[in-house]
Amino acid sequence: MTDLEQILSEARAKVAAATQAESLRAVDREYLGKEGVVAGLLAAIPTLEPSERRAAGQGANEVKTAVLEAIEERKAALAQEALSAQLSGEGFDPTLPGAVQRRGSLHPITQVTRELEDLFTSMGYSVLDGPEVELDHYNFEALNIPSDHPARDSQDTFFCDPEGHLVMRTHTSPVQVRAMEQLEPPFRAVAPGKVFRQETTDASHEHTFHQMEGLVVGKDISVGHLIGAMKTLLRGIFGRDLDVRLRPGYFPFVEPGFELDARCPFCEKGCSVCKRTTWIELLPCGLVHPNVLRMGGIDPDEWSGFAFGLGLSRLVMLRYGIDDVRHLLGGDLRFLEQF
Ligand code: PHE
């Protein structure tokens, strides 16, 4: 009996001393293996007095169970230790190279669109959407461009049906009319999106590009409100105040209509971006024509408004110094990964 107790306490001491799975396996082999201590005890039973055999067998089995239990317990404890060591940073080598994750990025048009949406919503504008395949009525007619109007020629329209009722919208201005139909004045709204023109493409012309329409309808809206809003827009885009100037511009749906220029944000004395003029053409705009208000269901005697058509593609090119508009929708990852 004392022998067995001694064997067991030695085995437990060895189990406790094992600090690694390998040394634990060695203890397992030593005691429970084919040639192990327990096997030796069992093999010795036939040499004993018959009266002692039963007790010896029981004793050997108890040792076996106890050693096995001790090993399993120690194994679990070691695993736990290894885990907490890992979690606490021990054995963690921060200098090993990690698994490389390729990250995508948002298209520069999307980035600038989101930025401007944030800016305009902070000024109380809603962000609206409109169909890219548009009715002639919204793209032209309700914008004061009747079917015989020469302004239609300048719009290089893609037609979607032989009768010409459906067109790929040539500008985001149709959303002005849809907004007037849907919203109760006073309201402010912007509408970013794709527009399409049947152009011969080159570095500054693309058949598909992006605009952001703006429309504000209220009481006694004046050119002063328009200029104020555009200066805020410039501050949002370029991060500082820039002087603006208005030149007359003709669009059938605004009266008066303007081309708004801003002082070149990139130079003082003239550079390649402003073509040495220190002014950059920013956007066409104007006061909403009374006919357009009327066709949108708004009484021009009671309400007035201003509208602008920001060229998003142009703005993105200015901002990032992109020299060819065709890069924007070219789908070349080497270009897109730079943003
Ligand atoms: N829709 C016009 C265009 O793309 C731009 C514009 C918008 C002009 C709003 C005035 C007011 O040509």
Tens of pLDDT, residue by residue over 1-25, are 568 889 999 999 999 999 888 899 9
| CA of residue 320 to ligand 1 center, whole Å | 23
Mean pLDDT for the stretch of residues 182-205: 95
**pLDDT for position 154:** 62
Asked whether residue 102 is domain-assigned, the answer is no
Say how many domains are in the chain: 2
Q: Are residues 69 and 136 in the same domain?
A: no
Domain that holds residue 80: 2-88
Please check whether residues 60 and 112 belong to one and the same domain. no
What 8-state DSSP symbol labels residue 48? Answer: S
- Whether 101 is in a domain gets the answer no
Do 51 and 152 have their domain in common? Answer: no
Give domain status of residue 95, yes or no: no
Q: Which residue among 58, 88, 118 closes a domain?
A: 88
Greater confidence, 323 or 176?
176
**Per residue in 63-116, pLDDT tens?**
999 999 999 999 999 888 888 877 777 677 778 888 888 888 899 999 999 999
Give 142 Cα–ligand 1 centroid separation in angstroms: 14
- The answer, yes or no, to whether residue 191 has pLDDT greater than 70, is yes
Note whether 126 and 257 are same-domain residues: yes
Cβ contact 15:27 at 8 Å: yes
Residue whose CA is at the smallest distance from ligand 1 atom 7: 309
Decide which of 30, 55, 88 is a domain's last residue: 88
- Distance from residue 330's CA to the centre of ligand 1 (Å): 25
Question: Do 70 and 148 fall within a single domain?
Answer: no
Q: CB pairs under 8 A, 24+ apart, for 153-160?
A: 155/197, 156/197, 156/198, 156/199, 157/197, 157/198, 158/196, 158/197, 158/198, 158/207, 160/133
| Any ligand 1 atom below 6 A from CB of 157 | no
pLDDT in tens, 156-168: 899 999 988 999 9
Residues 125, 28 share a domain: no
Nearest residue (by CA) to ligand 1, atom 10, is: 285
Structural domain includes residue 251: yes
Residue 276 Cα, ligand 1 centroid: separation in angstroms? 26
**Shared-domain flag, residues 19 and 162:** no
Distance CA 111, CA 316 (A): 9
Range in 56-60, 99-103, 189-193 the model is least confident about: 99-103
Atom of ligand 1 nearest to the CA of 257: 10
Residue nearest to atom 6 of ligand 1 (CA): 309
